[in-house]
């Protein structure tokens, strides 16, 4: 298990897994009054959380599926990346994609955070790339069935 240092300046519990096999830790909004988002409106929610990730790791902020399906709320810059050298407060941009106003209450679970390793790369500039069956086929090139 990876240990991550965290400062919690919110009145709410630390992010937590909802089941023993969950990949994402639910994060709560730490604003003080209910926030009403009109259709297509976005808001930057504070969390009161500050983390220190080990080198070679990142945290991704992702939408919660229930909020997206039931209320039309999603994380606007999804997935949002928190780099290992960032020490500021984690903030989450939600947008209301529904056709109705949505109220976000203080302490509500608004997103999930997934911690992962990444591999730094070094570019090797070349003039050609290897050939594959797919080649340059892009958007929709593999069909739908």
Q: Residue 134: pLDDT band by 50, 70, 90 thresholds?
A: confident
Task: Look at residues 25, 30, 26 and name the one whose alpha carbon lies nearest to residue 9.
Answer: 30
Average pLDDT over residues 6-22: 97
Domain parsing of the chain, residue ranges: 7-117
First to last CA, the chain: 39
Does this model's pTM top 0.95? My answer is: no
Rounded CA-CA distance 37/67 in Å is 13
7-117 classified as CATH 2.70.40.10: yes
Residue 70 per-residue DSSP state: H
Q: Residue 137: pLDDT band by 50, 70, 90 thresholds?
A: confident
Q: How far is CA 9 from each of CA 29, 51, 117, 137, rounded to the nearest angstrom?
A: 12, 11, 26, 49
Among the ranges given (33-42, 92-101, 126-135), the one the predictor scored with the smallest mean pLDDT: 126-135
Residue % of the chain over a pLDDT of 90: 90
Predicted pLDDT at 138: 77
């Amino acid at each position: 298990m990876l240990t991550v240092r965290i400062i919690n300046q919110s009145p709410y519990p630390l992010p937590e897994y909802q089941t023993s096999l969950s990949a994402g830790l639910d994060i709560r909004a730490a604003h003080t009054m209910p926030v009403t988002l009109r259709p297509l409106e976005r808001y930057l929610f504070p969390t009161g959380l500050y983390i220190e990730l080990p080198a070679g790791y990142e945290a991704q902020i992702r939408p919660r599926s229930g909020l997206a399906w039931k209320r039309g709320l999603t994380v606007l810059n999804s997935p949002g990346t928190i780099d290992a050298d960032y020490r500021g407060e984690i903030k989450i941009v939600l947008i209301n994609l529904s056709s109705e106003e949505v109220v976000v209450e203080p302490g509500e679970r608004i997103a999930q955070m997934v911690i992962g390793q990444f591999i730094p790369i070094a570019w090797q500039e070349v003039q050609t790339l290897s050939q594959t069956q797919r080649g340059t086929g892009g958007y929709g090139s593999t069909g739908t069935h």
